């Protein structure tokens, strides 16, 4: 494969790679619309700062929507866009692969 043929793949991988990013996508895919606090609890171990950075990056890349409601206190929720939903099948395929590889560590 030529480098030019890999350019779209490289661009996609840059948008969805990085620590926590795939886990955030998986969590939104399996749970639907989530508020920031819910998402933070589901993505165990992530700091608020890193979660905010990843969410902003995903929003800028058109992979998630950010809904802001100017209530008191303000409510912010996130959801996958249609582009983000296109990642569902690859995410589930990776989940199945991970289950086969690591599902029963005693078999290794």
Partners of residue 34 on adjacent β-strands: 78
pLDDT band at residue 5 using 50, 70 and 90 as cut-offs: low
Tokens encoding 44: 């165990």
**pLDDT of residue 104 exceeding 90:** no
Give how many domains the chain has, as a whole number: 1
Each residue's pLDDT tens digit, 45-103: 999 999 999 999 999 999 999 999 999 988 999 999 999 999 999 999 988 998 999 98
Is the pTM higher than 0.85? The answer reads no
The full 3-state SS of 31-72, as one line of letters, equals HCCEEHHHHHHHCCCCCHHHHHHHHHHHHHCCCEEEEEECCC
Averaged pLDDT, 18-32:
94
Domain at 39, CATH number: 1.10.10.10
Range of the domain at 59: 3-107
């Amino acid at each position: 494969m030529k480098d030019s043929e890999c350019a779209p793949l490289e661009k996609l991988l840059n948008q969805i790679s990085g620590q926590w990013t795939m886990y955030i996508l998986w969590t939104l895919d399996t749970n639907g619309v989530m508020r920031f606090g819910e998402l933070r609890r589901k993505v165990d171990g992530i700091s608020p700062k890193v979660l905010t950075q990843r969410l902003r990056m995903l929003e800028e890349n058109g992979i998630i929507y950010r809904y802001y409601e100017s209530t008191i206190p303000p409510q912010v929720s996130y959801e996958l866009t249609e582009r983000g939903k296109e990642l569902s099948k690859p995410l589930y395929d990776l989940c199945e692969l991970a289950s086969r590889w690591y599902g029963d560590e005693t078999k290794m």
